[in-house]
Amino acid sequence: MAEQGILSIVGIGPGAEEHTSPAALRAIAEADLIVGYTTYIRLVKRLIEGKEVIKTGMTEEIGRARAAVERARAGARVAIISSGDAGVYGMAGLVFQVLQEIGWKRGDSPELRLVPGMTALNACASLVGAPLGHDFCAISLSDLLTPWPVIERRIEAAAAADFVIGLYNPASGRRTRQIVRAQEIIAAHRAGTTPVALVKSAYRKLENVVLTDLDHFLEYEIGMLTTVLIGSSNTFLFEGYMVTPRGYTNKYTWDGDALPGQTPGRTLVVADERAAAEEA
């Protein structure tokens, strides 16, 4: 029987090494074979000197995932790397599908190690303020593997439910209509003045941040390396920061006392319910 291999599925964060976790750095250091998309391999170049590397283009993900699994199963220590978090629009799901396909069971070789990374939403949020301070969702506008009507339905639902929306894969050379349609759908539910941030290449060399609004964000460049953050109805701009409040001021004064009718640690009382409670 082959030696027990290790397959680490590693998110390396947005770009700069200081935003890669020590656990991710260790998983890379301990691997003999590194598998990943060329751009990400370049981001960790310094760490992989002397190691075997399988790097391929973006459309060869299935081949890469299979190669990683097969080598690890045969006893190698393999790190498969994605930018951000490997489980967020990354390779982790595909690796599990490959394992399922070959009939892998827990306890078999390879041992799996999942190493979390800082996803683009977190990295981009930190460059603009606190846009994710309340309920938010992520939607990818890539229709390469997902039918466009499904994506439209999700944008519509998120817009109607007043989520802060993070758009991954908003546009590419060939994909330009999708973001225009997304703007149209969201604008039907939110004010044109709703804050929008465009964050390109967060924590990488060509980092660029634009703070604008729902009526105007399409006037700026949006590409493969951009994440689009669209505020909810509560999101506001303050001193060049984008902020979605958590709701503290619904309940407390600035001295920390509960507002009339509110009780710390209990459900927030809203106007109609308060009237009903008083009547009872």
**Using CB under 6 A as the criterion, which residues of the chain lie in contact with ligand SAH when the complex forms?**
14-15, 82-85, 88-90, 119-120, 123-124, 168-169, 199-204, 224-227
The answer for residues whose C-beta is within 8 angstroms of residue 174's C-beta and 6 or more apart is: none
14 close to 120: Cβ distance less than 8 angstroms: yes
CB of 31 or CB of 198, closer to ligand SAH: 198
CB of 168 or CB of 217, closer to ligand SAH: 168
Residue number of the CB atom closest to ligand SAH: 84
CB of 93 or CB of 261, closer to ligand SAH: 93
Phi, psi of 194 (to 5 degrees): -55, 125
Distance of closest approach, residue 24 Cβ to ligand SAH, in angstroms: 12
Q: At residue 120, what is the residue type?
A: A
Per the structure block, which two tokens stand in for 254?
């600035």
User: How many angstroms separate the CA atoms of 58 and 219, rounded?
Assistant: 28
Distance of closest approach, residue 27 Cβ to ligand SAH, in angstroms: 16
Distance of closest approach, residue 190 Cβ to ligand SAH, in angstroms: 21
Q: At residue 184, what is the residue type?
A: E
CB of 35 or CB of 76, closer to ligand SAH: 35
Determine the 3-state secondary structure of 63 from DSSP.
helix
Q: Which residue has the tokens 């009339």?
A: 260
Q: Which residue has the tokens 């951009």?
A: 226
Distance of closest approach, residue 126 Cβ to ligand SAH, in angstroms: 11
CB of 136 or CB of 168, closer to ligand SAH: 168
CB of 83 or CB of 235, closer to ligand SAH: 83
Distance of closest approach, residue 136 Cβ to ligand SAH, in angstroms: 14
